[in-house]
Structures are given as structure tokens and as C-alpha cells.
Amino acid sequence: MDTEFTFNSRRSPVVCLHGCVATSQPLASTVGLDILKRGGNAADAAVAIAAALAVTEPCSTGLGGDAFCLFYSADTGEIQGINGSGRTACAQTLDFMESRGYSTESPPSVFDALNVTVPGAAACWCDTKELFGSQKLSLQEILSGAVELAELGFPVAEVTAHHWADNVAALRDAGKKLGDDLLIDGHAPKSGEVFKNPALARTLKELGEHGKPGFYQGRVAKAIVDVISKDGGVMTLDDLRSHNSEVTTPISTEYKSTRLWELPPNSQGLVALLLLNILENFPQLRATGHNSSDYIHVFVEAVRLAQTDGLCYLGDPAHTSIPLETLLDKSYSSQRAQLIIMDRAMEQTKPGPITASDTVYFCIIDSHGNACSFVNSTYMGFGTGLVPDGCGFSLQNRGANFSLHRGHINCIAGGKRSYHTIIPALLTDSVTKSQKPQQLLAALGVMGGFMQPQGHVQVLLNMMEFGMNPQQALDAPRVFVQYDQKSGQWFVNLEEGIEQEVAEELRRRGHKVNWPVTDADSSCGLYHSGEMQLLLE
């Protein structure tokens, strides 16, 4: 490690011998470790943790949301992915939305039932266990830790209590009486207060006993359709029954001696790879200094280019053709990099809308060297805030990411998946096909909607260019490049710890800078909370 560029983190890396889990919640970490101790592998532990976080952090994740998974097999060096995102109701076409009076200028509220897409998390959990699990533990055994937390209760963590209260409006919105299932006497639980969720315990038991039919058919499915219908949505039992995850081949790009792996569209993992490819054209990055004005200027401009390409070309591949090979070609990114001028910001170009989100990310490496990088989200806090009767979870609002502009690549259509922000990642060494199996270097991910590709690349560069260890790489101050739809401008959010002189120089070059952004600042504080990474030596 090159100490010249090292960020002095307050925390030290944790080193383990027989497997490790990293989550945003100690109780969830304990559940995952217990699965490893009982003979389960990284995939089994990932499902157990996802369920435990659904109990302990319902304001960010749960069975009402989506999930994505990347799995590395230590035996073969192969990486496979699961796209666990749900689709719109088949009846929810653009013509239907327009008949309801909605348009690009006047979309439905983010809490509207029309923004509920089929929850894909339950199927993703089941498929992760079946495809990648050890087969030593049943789904019931894997979910038992989460069931116990839901039945007996748990003390709400301080950060979780803050986000719970911050998003409580979604549960109290007019006509959402069932939101009280996720409250205590009509209020968000306070830090340290014990919260029980017997309804969710019942749902988890049914999922464990019956698998996917226990969620997408029967009692739970009927409750989902009922609550959506009462709020004006059009999802049917057939929409739920026909849902399936997609097993995918991850996409990747090489950066120096490593290869970054992401899930393909509709996931925005493509944006992280585009960003890394553009930055590769600036070999002087290390020499500019970590979080210097030159470094941040190049990074910001590269983000704008990558994000614009993502919003232009990224959609559901089942509904549109995506030129992945062209976009990931190094010559394409070289041409894009030539648009970056060091002494001034690029002139404004308008991409699609950018919004925030709430997510949980976690990763596991077991004693055999298998790794699972996993992300689960209800999108914006409690999503729509709609809580199916007797189920103990809220339904996501991922449909708010669709465009209502006819002809747009991400335009809403029946049975379509939206541009999706949640992305797990894996990092391996860069080897030729004849040199397999490739070696795992890290499982990594961050939280925060459109921040995630930017976060992946910043963490990677912190280690590769500036010699930081994993904990330092995660804790170092970050930059978040954000497009504001109302003003039509790009904003550069600089976290506390970046020098004032850097902010002033970026302003001189024409950037709209918010500095310093602290954890209490809602515009960026969320984007540096609870990120995890595991590194294998």
C-alpha cells in the first residue's frame, strides 16, 4: 500500500480466516454468519441476510422490492448473475397511462399504485439458493433467522430509525391504513425501540415452506393485487404468477490488471463500466492527487458522459436493442474522453431524470472462496407505502423510473422492466481464457440510486490509483454528480473532507458545486452510508 496517497480512516479493515459477511446491520450480519457456521455457503448466507434486512430495515428493502445477485464460484472461477427485477402490469401501456391523464410533464405521484412493478426479490432469493447454494440447508432453515427477528422483535438501529421517520409519509398517505403495520402506534419506531412484525414472519414462513408459489400465488399474491387495485393500480394475479428471474451473463471491462464485473441492462452496471473506460484515457489521474481539483474535474466530466450514454441507450433488452459491444469498445470511450477539457466544464446537455433511492447492499465470502455480491431495494424508502394486508412489507415504486415520452428507450410498456439503479459488483484479476480460473479480488457495492456507478468506480480508484486498503477506500470523501431536472443543471456534491480550495477551483471551471455535504445533508448524506466491500489477498 502506498501511504503517500492514503486516506486516514477512523476504522481499520476486518481480516477473517474462514469467511466473512459485510452488511449495514449487525443483526443481519449475525444471521449470515450463522448460516456459514451451519455449513451454508455465500449464496445461502446472502438469502438469509436479505431476509434479515427485510425485517430490520424495511424503510430501504424487503419482499416488496427487487434484488440483483452476482455469484463467484471458487471451483471454476465462473461468475453468474441473477436479474431479480420485476415488470410492469401487462395492462399498463403508455396508451393506458395517457388515458388516465398522465404525461411526461405530469406523471403520477411517486407513491401512486401505478408505480408498483412486480416485486422480484422473493424469486431472486429462491433462485439464488437453488442455483448457487450449498444444498445443505433448506429455504426454511435459511429464512429461520429472519423469522425469529420478526416474531421476537429487534431494537431499531439509530440510522434506521432516522430513515424510518424520514420516509414515514409514504405509509401515512391518504387511504393507506395498512401502513400502520410498519409503525408503532402510528409512528416510526425510535432508536432502540423494539419492533415486531408477525405479519412478515408469516410471509417468510410461507415462502420458506412453499418457495416461489408461496409468494406469487395464494394469500400473499391476492393481498398484493387487492391493495394495488384499491389504490387505482391494474396489476393482476397473472402478472404475479408469470414472474421469473433472469439468469444472466455479467458484462465487464478491464482496467489495468483487473476486471470489473457488473450485471447487464436493464441494470445500470453498464454506466460504471463506461465511466471506468473513459477514465482509463487519463493515465495522469494518480499524479493529480486524490480528490484534487483536476482529479474531480475529470471524474465529474466522465460521469456526465457515461450517465448520458446510459440514459440514452439503457433499457429492457427484451423491448429494445442495446449496442453493448459498441458502447464497451475501448475506442468508443476514447472518443468520448476527447470531449473533456481540463480548464472548463462541458456545456450543458440534458439527460433523463435523476432521483434518489434507498437500498441495502451486502456481500459474503465463504471459507471455500465463493463470493456473493447482493443488492435489494424498494427504491424510494418504503416505495409506494402500500402494505398488502397481513404481509408485513411495503411495495416498491420502481415504476417511477419509466419515461412517459413515446419512443424513449425507457418508455413504459406492459410487462417491461425499467432502467434499474441497483447494481452489485465483483472484481477479479484480468486473465485470458486459457488462464482460467480467474481469481476473485473483491466483492463490492454502494447504495444510493444513480450514485452507485460513481461509487463503484471511486472505491476502485481509491485502491488501485491511491493505494488505499478496503476500509479507507470506502470511508474516503466522495463526489456525487447529480442532474437536477427542474433547473436543467448538473450539480457536483462534494462530501465533507474535500478541501475548500478544490471546491472553489471547480466553480471557477464552471461546475455548480455543493460543498461541504455532510451526513446530515439529504442531498448526499445517504450516498455514503453502509457501503461494504470484501477483499481477498
In a domain, 436, yes or no: no
Q: Pick the residue with more confidence: 360 or 352?
A: 360
Q: What is the pLDDT of residue 69?
A: 98
The pLDDT tens digits for 46-65 are 999 999 999 999 999 999 99
Q: How many CB atoms lie within 10 A of CB 485?
A: 12
Among 21-30, 203-212, 347-356, 387-396, the least confident range: 347-356
The pLDDT tens digits for 510-524 are 999 999 998 644 434
Task: Cell numbers for 331, please give them.
Answer: 475506442
* pTM (predicted TM-score): 0.93
In a domain, 160, yes or no: yes
- Spatial strand order in the sheet of 479-484: 479-484, 489-495, 512-517
Q: Is the pLDDT of residue 166 over 60?
A: yes
Q: Is the pLDDT of residue 443 over 70?
A: yes
The pLDDT tens digits for 185-202 are 999 999 999 999 999 999
Among 114-128, 271-285, 449-463, the least confident range: 449-463
Q: Is the pLDDT of residue 486 over 90?
A: no
One-letter amino acid of 457: V
What is the domain count for the chain? 1
Mean pLDDT of the chain, nearest integer: 91
Give percent above pLDDT 90 in the chain.
81
Query: Residue 119, preceding bond cis, omega within 30 degrees?
Result: no
In a domain, 57, yes or no: yes
Q: Pick the residue with more confidence: 415 or 2?
A: 415
Give percent above pLDDT 70 in the chain.
92
Residue range of the domain that includes 213: 14-247+359-401
Q: What is the pLDDT of residue 524?
A: 40
In a domain, 515, yes or no: no
Q: How far apart are CA 176 and CA 372, in angstroms?
A: 36
Q: Confidence class of residue 9 from pLDDT cuts 50, 70 and 90?
A: confident
Letter string b/e over residues 50-67, b meaning 16 or more CB atoms within 10 A of that residue's CB: bbbbbbbbbbbbbbbbbb
The pLDDT tens digits for 238-261 are 999 999 999 999 999 999 999 999
Q: Which residues partner with 494 through β-bridges?
A: 479
Closest CA to 56 of 182, 142, 173, 179: 182
Q: What is the pLDDT of residue 14?
A: 83
Among 56-60, 388-392, 440-444, the least confident range: 440-444
- What mean pLDDT comes out for the span 140-150? 99
Among 165-169, 233-237, 273-277, 530-534, the least confident range: 530-534
Q: How far apart are CA 440 and CA 310, in angstroms?
A: 27
In a domain, 26, yes or no: yes
In a domain, 512, yes or no: no
Q: Is the pLDDT of residue 489 over 90?
A: no
In the chain, % helix, strand, coil (3-state, to 5) comes to 40, 20, 45
In a domain, 464, yes or no: no
Query: Residue 13, preceding bond cis, omega within 30 degrees?
Result: no
Q: What is the pLDDT of residue 520?
A: 45
Query: One of 88, 253, 359, 378 is an active-site residue; which one?
Result: 359
Q: Is the pLDDT of residue 352 over 70?
A: no
Closest CA to 14 of 26, 5, 31: 26
The pLDDT tens digits for 84-104 are 999 999 999 999 999 999 999
Q: What is the pLDDT of residue 534?
A: 57
In a domain, 73, yes or no: yes
Q: What is the pLDDT of residue 354?
A: 36
Query: Residue 266, preceding bond cis, omega within 30 degrees?
Result: yes
Q: What is the pLDDT of residue 487?
A: 79
Q: What is the pLDDT of residue 7?
A: 58
Q: Is the pLDDT of residue 435 over 60?
A: no
359 assigned to active site: yes
Task: Cell numbers for 234, please give them.
Answer: 391494474
Give me the long-range contacts of 217-226 (CB less than 8 A, separation at least 24). 217/241, 219/390, 220/388, 220/391, 223/388, 223/389, 223/390, 223/391, 224/119, 224/388, 224/391, 224/395, 226/388, 226/389
Q: Is the pLDDT of residue 434 over 80?
A: no
Q: CA 195, 27, 56, 524 torsion: positive or negative?
A: positive
